[in-house]
Amino acid sequence: MSADPKVFLMGEEVGEYQGAYKISKGLLEKYGPDRVVDTPITEAGFTGIGVGAAYYGLRPVIEFMTFNFSMQAIDHIINSAAKSNYMSAGQISVPIVFRGPNGAAAGVGAQHSQCYAAWYASCPGLKVLVPYSSEDARGLLKAAIRDPDPVVFLENELLYGESFPVSAETLDSSFCLPIGKAKIEREGKDVTITAFSKMVGYALQAADILAKEGISAEVINLRSIRPLDRSTINASVRKTNRLITVEEGFPQHGIGAEICASVLEDSFEYLDAPVERIAGADVPMPYAANLERISVPQVEDILQLTKVGRRLICKKTNEAE
């Protein structure tokens, strides 16, 4: 916002309330009400207004209090934003960012817990970014705002409270991450685990436990769901020959399904075992704590795939020793 006067933030409670999750704390005071705009609870209306402002040349950042409410505005995201550059053969570009928390939180129930990564990532014309760490959040959000195309930026409510170590480079004001590139969070040899958002943390925990059992897991933080970094994923699978995809959202037609298909197309001969998908349970999110716990993937779910008797046996590191 300080670099470009055309950037403005619009959404519910972003101004005087300091942000529903305090993400925009202090921005109203710093930039004023013209650039930090509180809206009524009318997603279809303010999303359309944001897209119209982007048509004119401004660079809006539209906040959804959670992406569940983006469904009220999804026509504007898809039909008014994503497709415009194509339908107008380049005349009308839409430099807009739609951001907010996505996926499950804690005990918020079925209508407030859905993950929208798969829905938005299937649409040509959109870019879909998903940060995990603080470095991701800073670098990817800046890239998203600078990008001339519509970007869906899926954050995570539970990750807002987590701290991550950051390098001096990350703190520099010009720090930006590339769109379309995944990050190998942890290198490994025996199995590839792809994940995004909160699940990256779980995958890393699983990798730590697996390392003690002599299995070296490579954890890929996808960062960019659309465009998907197929080359990093495939290069990794060609190295490890085994793949686990992890996501929080519903399993059918999910991110794991796309990654699995991509790997089958590009690296079939390299697979030593079928691709395994870990995803949320195929049910609307329940409220009761114990049911909620078994509706989202846990670290144990990733681990039990590598146990004896499962298809994905990884023993390479042991053999090397």
Active site members: 43, 112
> Contacting another protein (CB under 8 A), which of 56, 282, 288, 289?
56
Distance CA(50)–CA(35), nearest Å, equals 12
Beta strands in the chain (DSSP E): 7-11, 36-38, 59-63, 97-101, 127-129, 151-155, 183-186, 191-195, 217-221, 224-226, 243-246, 276-278
Distance CA(299)–CA(317), nearest Å, equals 21
Residue with smaller CB distance to another protein, 75 or 213: 75
Minimal distance in Å, beta carbon 13 to another protein? 15
Q: Which stretch binds another protein (CB under 8 A): 98-106, 122-130, 187-195, 294-302?
A: 122-130
Q: Buried b vs exposed e over 257-288: b needs ≥16 C-beta within 10 Å?
A: bbbbebbeebbeeebebebbbbbbeeeebbee
46 binds another protein (CB under 8 A): yes
Within 65-104, the residues that bind another protein by CB under 8 A are 75-76, 79-80, 84-93, 95
> Contacting another protein (CB under 8 A), which of 11, 15, 19, 50?
50
265 binds another protein (CB under 8 A): yes
180 binds another protein (CB under 8 A): yes
Strands ordered across the beta sheet of 97-101:
36-38, 7-11, 59-63, 97-101, 151-155, 127-129, 224-226
Minimal distance in Å, beta carbon 178 to another protein? 8
Q: Which stretch binds another protein (CB under 8 A): 103-111, 119-127, 234-242, 302-310?
A: 119-127
58 binds another protein (CB under 8 A): yes
Question: Helix (H, G, I), strand (E, B), or coil: what is residue 139?
Answer: helix
The site for another protein, by CB under 8 A, has a size of 48
Within 204-263, the residues that bind another protein by CB under 8 A are 227, 230
149 binds another protein (CB under 8 A): yes
